[in-house]
Structure 1
Amino acid sequence: MLELNRQQEISSGDKGHNSVLEEERPTYEALRFPGLHPAIRRFVETGKLNGELGYQHAFSAMASTRIGREYGAPQAKESRLFVSGEYMRTITLRDGSDIDDFLRPVEWILLNPTSQIALIVVPEEAEFLIPMLRETTSSKRGALTHLITYVLPLSRDMSNFDGLLHSLPPLPAGHQVSGRLWMKLDIFAGRLYAGFDKCTNLRRYMESPDGAALSANPAGFLLEWLALRRKGQDITHTPMSYVCQG
């Protein structure tokens, strides 16, 4: 009987402890999607990103994170890779909190194949863009931009996969996306597995003056960024990690 009472006390104590943990667990308010920004709509209609609202340079978005600030990542000024304003809006941040733990994955890219300007968009924006692109595709002028599904290679067997899964409408026959643009996209998305050529090009980029677009210490910053992007995954023995470690 004494043993039974003791077990009941322990059980009651565990429940009390769990309730305290539940009370202390932070809750966050998800931000509402306000709709497709006019700048993105104009990008579809004209093929040009104009103005200063509705989007930003992808590397500037990286610079706004805690890791970016720690490494003194500069605000990008010369780049053809952008993120929509919605990409960095996920939750209402509390005082002193950072967006680092709430970054979205990269899934959709709106690309102008002529100017090689790419805009990373969120799924809610893609839902608006799909019918717009279908309409422009059927017009006499044709589509000026293409919505591309991007998928990160998840294993060494996928190292040579470029990440491009599907395009609406299909890209022009024989078209190739700029290698430098795709490299920056892979960096931003947190790609870990890549073939020898991609790894070599990334190493050259980080060792060149252009690498300063990431940080004064591009290898150290990229290693931290990859760990953030692939949270919960051991990145030590991956091609991109080897590149960062020399």
Structure 2
Amino acid sequence: MDEEQEREVDHEVEREQQVERPPKAKAATHRIHAHIKAFIRTGILPLPSPAIVRAFSNLSASAAVQHSGAWSSRLLASVDFSTTIKRQVIHKADDYLRPVNWILSCIVEGRTTLVILSPYEVNKLLPSIRSSTKVRLHVYTPRVTQAMKPCDDLTLYFVPWPSTFRIPRSSLRMQLNIFAGQLYLPDYQTYRQFAEFLGVYTTQMTGVKIQSDGFILPKDRPTEIKALSPFKTTPLPFLKELLGLRRKGMRYSDTHVGKVLRARLLTDADFDNA
């Protein structure tokens, strides 16, 4: 073996990828609260309620608390959905996030309220939901591949059926998608709305002072978008953490949302096959 080959052997390093998994935890006991049953029957939520929380409020990340006032009060989750493990000091509940697949909707005073349910609640309450005239149960899944069709209009399948249903406002659907971990956007217009909600720069804005991650401070925002973003400080670190939890180590940097979080600008060409 010559000297050059010896040097190559000396510098050879064996690498073994290790996945860090959350510690074992005891599953929480499922409970169906009387307020959930009453909501299905009457379409009225007695808020505040021990059975309901704001969807984003149950995340323990400090950034979630920091931006708590930015999220809609009409995007809710049952406590049974939000509580997956018995809390202990060594456990971080964020590591055990439940996927978003079942949503109750109700229209009150012309505005839609969404309540995310656990599979257990849906299984137990389905007969009551089928006979309800006040709420609808929707099947939902976030769009995590470009080949998937978006179903955030909540019309993919819902019960009772047939019945009339008003598609939720785009702002509420956007927050649902963020919470659920959606990675792809349907078109350039939706991308602009997404970026404006987050307070992030797009090519439509000119002469704007931006931060290193693309965030625009409230004092630097163009007049036409000042009211569109509720964030006073950048929400991007929190969203990166949330998506990391949702993806469980799987890469997402080349997706639409991943590019936004990396301060990459999107164009119409990014949506040609969306």
With the shorter chain as reference, the TM-score category is 0.7 to 0.9
Q: Percent identity?
A: 29
| Cα pair distance change 1:27/1:162, threshold 3 Å | closer
Q: Give the whole-Å Cα distance in 2 for the aligned partners of 1:171 and 1:245.
A: 43
- The yes-or-no answer on 1:65 pairing with 2:65 is no
Give the one of 254, 259, 264 matched to 1:237: 254
Structure 2, unpaired ranges of 5+: 1-21, 200-225, 264-274
| Cα pair distance change 1:168/1:230, threshold 3 Å | same
Q: Give the whole-Å Cα distance in 1 for the aligned partners of 2:58 and 2:36.
A: 17
Give the one of 241, 262, 266 matched to 1:224: 241
Structure 2 counterpart of 1:216, one-letter code: T
Structure 2 counterpart of 1:194, one-letter code: L
Structure 2 counterpart of 1:156, one-letter code: Q
| Cα pair distance change 1:184/1:39, threshold 3 Å | same
Q: Give the whole-Å Cα distance in 2 for the aligned partners of 1:233 and 1:77.
A: 26
Q: Give the whole-Å Cα distance in 2 for the aligned partners of 1:174 and 1:126.
A: 19
* Equivalent pair of 1:60/1:76 in contact (CA under 8 Å): no
* Equivalent pair of 1:190/1:225 in contact (CA under 8 Å): yes
Deviations 1:115-165 (A, max 9, x none): 3000000001101221002223xxxxxx11000011122311225443733
- What is the RMSD of the two structures over their aligned residues, measured on CA atoms? 2.5
* Equivalent pair of 2:131/2:160 in contact (CA under 8 Å): no
**1:33 maps to what in 2?**
30
- The yes-or-no answer on 1:108 pairing with 2:111 is no
**2:190 maps to what in 1?**
198
Structure 1, unpaired ranges of 5+: 1-24, 137-142
The 5 Å alignment of 1:89-104 reads 89-104=83-98
Q: Give the length in aligned residue pairs.
A: 211
Q: Structure 1 residue runs of 4+, over 6 Å off?
A: none
Deviations 1:64-115 (A, max 9, x none): 335635xx33356752100101122111232143111101000100001453
Shift in Å, 1:212? 3.9
Structure 2 counterpart of 1:115, one-letter code: R
The 5 Å alignment of 1:123-202 reads 123-136=119-132, 143-158=133-148, 160-162=150-152, 164=154, 165-170=156-161, 172-173=163-164, 175-196=166-187, 197-202=189-194
Structure showing the higher helix proportion among its residues: 1
* Equivalent pair of 1:57/1:76 in contact (CA under 8 Å): no
